[in-house]
Amino acid sequence: MKIIDVAEFYAERGGGVRTYIHHKLAAAKAAGHEMVIVAPGPKDGCEERLGGRIEWIASRPMPLDARYYLLLDNKAVHAVLNREKPDVVEGSSPWAGGWMVARWPGWALKSFIFHQDPVAVYP
């Protein structure tokens, strides 16, 4: 099964979300699934990691924390989903990532996974 997580807040130098995603990539491989993470970053690109892949979408840095980028390009996310043809797509925030998944017209099962808590983190 191919699973795509549209991870709005993943960062290379992040903390909890990065840890969660790294465990998720390894667990998917161990279970025989293909895991693809769609994440905002400084430039477009693809990177194999821990038995899965990260598809980077070129984005602008977040004003509050330059380690993170703003996922704003709905068309780029939909292009990755259309190209990858996943069985399951996860929107991982109630903001852009979740809305992008909800509005994608593909046939994959869509789910909402909230794997960050910005209210607890930033203050």
Q: Are 37 and 5 in contact (CB under 8 A)?
A: yes
More confident residue, 97 or 37: 37
Rounded to 10 degrees, the C-alpha dihedral 90/92/93/99 comes to -30
| Selection from 62, 87, 121, 97 nearest residue 112 by Cα | 97
Q: What is the mean pLDDT of residues 69-81?
A: 96
Average pLDDT, the chain: 90
Q: Which two tokens stand for residue 38?
A: 């769609």
With a cut of 80, say whether residue 117 has pLDDT above it.
Answer: no
Which pLDDT band, with edges at 50, 70 and 90, does 11 fall under?
confident
Q: Which domains does the chain have, with CATH numbers?
A: 6-117 (3.40.50)
Q: Is 0.85 topped by the overall pTM?
A: yes
d(Cα 15, Cα 10) in Å, to the nearest integer? 9
Burial, 120: exposed, middle or buried (Cβ in 10 Å; 0-12, 13-18, 19+)?
Answer: exposed
Q: Are 38 and 7 in contact (CB under 8 A)?
A: yes
Q: Are 53 and 47 in contact (CB under 8 A)?
A: yes
